[in-house]
Amino acid sequence: MHHAIAALLYGCVSGGFLSCASHSQCPGDAGAAQRASTGRSGESGDARPNDSRASGLHGTAKKSASRDSGLHGAAIPGASRDSGLHGAAKNSATRDSGIAGEAKKSEYCKVVTVQAAPILTPGNLPKTPALCADDYRSPKDLGKILCGELKEISGIAASRRHQGVFWVHNDSGDSARVFGIDMFGQIRAEVRFDALQFKDLEDLAVGPCPAGIEAQICLWLADTGNNIRPRRETLWLYVLPEPDLGELTLPKTALSAYAIRYPGGEKIDCEAIAVSPQGQPYFFEKVDGPSFRLFTAASLATDGPNELTTVTALESPGLGIKYGRMVTGADLHPSGERLLLRLYTGIFEYALPHGLSGLNAADLRFSFLGPLSEHQGEACAYDASGRNLVTLSEGAAQTLHFYTCVE
């Protein structure tokens, strides 16, 4: 879904939207002169950022994160909407090749069949991953996603079965499929779902399976985007046992489909979900306002609409600029003790001493405004260890960013 983003102005200036009073260290005037032109795509539905070349912000808001918050240079060459590859071959493997069903896949889109990491079975699943006790360092660039068929990555989650693999998917407009990528950006899996169509797939999660699915770890797919008019009253959550690697085509019956509705039939846009250690899904409202709501389903049934309940309303941690407070991605730590949120203006981590039901603005423990090169950041996740973070943006040839724990 392409929309325009409001211009972002950097710096600690009087009356500006980046206030030193709310940050452990003022980022200074390094970006004060950076501006991004704006426009509107004219697409129906709510406006949404697309290609702000200067959309990442300098600095961070909590603890020692400020010391590491500087981005890799004040300007990222070629970071515009048509950037393609930064120095890589600009050929059919990039922005011009992302057509589902092409007669010939680009080399970058072929599934890598090198020996896979050991599959983790119920008998050898690792213990609950550890928590990062301190802050996270500034992000490092890992692999670049050169496959032109992955141009609108909207969700990411670390595999629990395949070490070093992350599940990702495109936004609306793609066929019904998900991809597995490694930390170098190589395609390790393409899983297609036969006779199924996603309306607006916006996020995914890896977590315990709900009751009724005879597996331990499942992939949760949230077809919950709702900014295309006419808006939907009924949305869909699809769940299946975490797939194998390789090129797979699964029947529609391989997934359990759950119809969901919000209280009172409200037509809410949601681009972020999280799954608790008990296999309970949570849905984060995407709204351009000072606060957002969190919803959940205590249980799920496939034989009728599942009415969600409101858990809480939370002050948005994003910057109070247009689109800056929209929640676009989420991930719950496998222990259930931390929550990671992705907004267009940065990533934010909360401690959860009382679980998601007790989510409180005062429990914000880490924030990072940016990174600059993620002009439409919509995906975030903990890695398999639970100690590090990854983020990814929509757009052609995007880079996987890796935030390591300071310890």
Q: What is the pLDDT of residues 241-280, one digit of tens each?
A: 999 999 999 999 999 999 999 999 999 999 999 999 999 9
How many Cβ atoms are within 10 Å of 334's Cβ, its own excluded?
25
Domain-located, residue 57: no
pLDDT higher than threshold 90 for residue 283:
yes
Rounded to whole angstroms, how far apart are CA atoms 233 and 319?
30
Judge contact between 153 and 390, C-beta under 8 A.
no
How many Cβ atoms are within 10 Å of 1's Cβ, its own excluded?
22
Check residue 209 and report its DSSP letter.
P
Domain that holds residue 82: 74-403
Mean pLDDT of the chain: 79
Provide the pLDDT for residue 105. 76
Among 133, 49, 135, smallest CA distance to 348 is for 135
Domain-located, residue 157: yes
pLDDT higher than threshold 60 for residue 102:
no
Provide the pLDDT for residue 80. 33
Query: Between residues 180 and 125, which one has the greater pLDDT?
Result: 180
Provide the pLDDT for residue 140. 96
Provide the pLDDT for residue 96. 37
Q: Convert 382-396 to b/e letters by CB count within 10 Å (16 or more is b).
A: bbbebbbbbbbbbbb
In tens, the pLDDT along 198-231 reads: 999 999 999 999 999 999 999 999 999 999 889 9
Domain-located, residue 261: yes
Provide the pLDDT for residue 129. 84
Query: Beta partners for 307?
Result: 261
Provide the pLDDT for residue 9. 31
Which own/partner contact pairs does 75-82 have at CB distance under 8 Å and 24+ positions apart? Answer: 75/34, 75/372, 76/372, 76/373, 79/53, 79/372, 79/373, 79/375, 80/51, 80/53, 81/50, 81/51, 81/375, 81/395
In tens, the pLDDT along 89-101 reads: 333 333 333 434 4
pLDDT higher than threshold 60 for residue 319:
yes
Provide the pLDDT for residue 88. 34
pLDDT mean over 337-344? 98
Among 253, 157, 237, 231, smallest CA distance to 201 is for 237
Cis peptide before 371 (omega within 30 of 0): yes
pLDDT mean over 106-126? 69
Q: Give Cβ neighbours of residue 318 (< 8 Å, ≥ 6 apart).
A: 324, 325, 326, 343, 344, 345, 346, 348
Provide the pLDDT for residue 171. 92
Judge contact between 287 and 230, C-beta under 8 A.
no
Provide the pLDDT for residue 60. 38
Residue type, 39: G
Sign of CA dihedral 146, 149, 154, 158: negative
Sign of CA dihedral 64, 325, 282, 174: negative
pLDDT higher than threshold 70 for residue 397:
yes
Domain-located, residue 287: yes
Domain-located, residue 120: yes
pLDDT mean over 338-366? 96
CA atoms within 13 A of residue 374's CA, in its CB half-sphere: 31
Rounded to whole angstroms, how far apart are CA atoms 193 and 250?
5
Q: Which CATH number do you get for residue 287?
A: 2.120.10
**Residue 165: exposure state from Cβ atoms within 10 A (0-12, 13-18, ≥19):** buried
Domain-located, residue 387: yes
Domain-located, residue 367: yes
pLDDT mean over 336-348? 97
Domain-located, residue 355: yes
Length of the chain (residues): 407
Q: DSSP for 120-170?
A: PPTTTPPPPPPPPSS-BPPPEEEEE---TT-S-EEEEEE-SSBTTEEEEEE
Number of domains in the chain: 1
Provide the pLDDT for residue 365. 97
In tens, the pLDDT along 9-57 reads: 323 322 222 323 233 323 233 333 333 333 333 333 444 444 333 333 3
Rounded to whole angstroms, how far apart are CA atoms 403 and 397?
19
Judge contact between 30 and 13, C-beta under 8 A.
no
Judge contact between 400 and 388, C-beta under 8 A.
no
pLDDT mean over 139-165? 95
pLDDT higher than threshold 60 for residue 114:
yes
Q: Give Cβ neighbours of residue 355 (< 8 Å, ≥ 6 apart).
A: 276, 336
